[in-house]
Amino acid sequence: MLVKVFVAAITLVSAVTGSCAAPPPAPTLSFLYSLNLTNGAEYAIGATPQGFRTVQPIVGGAFSGPKMKGNVTTGIDYGVVDSNNTFHPKAVYVLETVEGDTILVTESGRAPNINVIFDTASTKYGWLNKAVGYATGGLVDGVVSLNVWQITPPS
């Protein structure tokens, strides 16, 4: 009985070790667009349990990439700076493409890494509803500038 348990344990360890020998295939990144957001006046909410929160209306901007371009129409940025002085961006805003399609964008993360999720009723841009985005960037001369990439899992 003890021999069977030992053999089973060795088999399990071998299986786990063997499966970890090579890293799995990595997801790929495809560039979606560069984005500039123009914010309005900042409102300080103050020290909350999550950290120091501010709220800023997003009053405009533009985006451009190989598959899409247009303007930012409206939104809100309500990020928080935690006790380690790390900024956690949170924003929701609307993109309007040159064709007139609208796309709701939701951002969250830990700067400089930003997760991006899309929601649209557009037929042309419906593929974004299943896309997961990654953005990086920051504040440049008072304007939020981001580069947004689509993350595609390995096939």
Domains and CATH numbers, the chain: 25-152 (2.40.160.20)
Least confident of 14-18, 20-24, 55-59: 14-18
Check residue 154 and give its pLDDT: 87
Residue 112 has pLDDT above 60, yes or no: yes
Check residue 4 and give its pLDDT: 57
**Other beta carbons within 10 Å of 72:** 21
Distance CA 28, CA 95 (A): 24
Of 88 and 8, the one with more pLDDT:
88
Distance CA 124, CA 126 (A): 6
**What is the per-residue DSSP string for 79-126?**
-EE-TTS-EE-EEEEEEEETTS-EEEEEEEEETTEEEEEEEE--STTG
| pLDDT single digits (tens) 42-98 | 999 999 999 999 999 999 999 999 999 999 999 999 999 999 999 999 999 999 999
Check residue 19 and give its pLDDT: 58
**What is the per-residue DSSP string for 31-78?**
EEEEEEEEE---EEEEEETTEEEEEEEEEEEEEE-SS-EEEEEEEEE-
Least confident of 10-19, 22-31, 127-136: 10-19
Which H or E element spans position 16? helix 2-19
Distance CA 96, CA 70 (A): 6
Band the pLDDT of 139: cuts 50, 70, 90.
Answer: confident
Q: What is the pTM of this model?
A: 0.83
Sequence letter at residue 105: V
| Mean of the per-residue pLDDT values of the chain | 90
Distance CA 117, CA 132 (A): 6
Residue 108 has pLDDT above 60, yes or no: yes
Q: What b-and-e string marks burial along 28-49, b requiring 16 or more CB atoms within 10 Å of the CB?
A: eeeebbbbbbebeeeeeeeeee
Band the pLDDT of 155: cuts 50, 70, 90.
Answer: confident
> Tokens 């120091």 sit at which residue?
52
